[in-house]
Structure 1
Amino acid sequence: GRVQLKVLDNGSGIPEEIKESIFIPFFSTKKTGSGIGLSLSKQIMTLHKGKIQLKSEPGTGTEFTLQF
């Protein structure tokens, strides 16, 4: 079996047009963001044969699922 860890919020969500870009190194929508966090997270999960998945709807929040 696999272990799942879900992290979710009730924020503004991630717009559809940038969902494919959020795991790209150095991609950020913030002036002060480095764009390294999600990219590094995905690389670490992949190295450990895990997965990171995203579910997000504008106005309802975002859910990241990490599968180990």
Structure 2
Amino acid sequence: MKNYWQGGVCLAFADEVLCWLYGTVKENEDYILQFVPPFHRLELLRAESCPDAITDHVEQI
């Protein structure tokens, strides 16, 4: 599959996702961003707390 990946399309999608997150996420609240495979969409879910995997990773940094 030659020329399947297009950098401009990828960056435009990333820009849309980041703008959506910036306008949706509230400060001092925890969220989980997940990809839903059968529907090919992103979902932003409110979380009770930050997932341990993220907390552990941040502590390592």
**TM-score relative to the length of structure 2:** 0.32
**TM-score relative to the length of structure 1:** 0.30
More helix by share: 2
More strand by share: 1
Instruction: Tell me: higher relative CO, structure 1 or 2? Use CA pairs within 8 A at least 6 residues apart.
Output: 1
Query: Is the radius of gyration larger for structure 1 or structure 2?
Result: 2
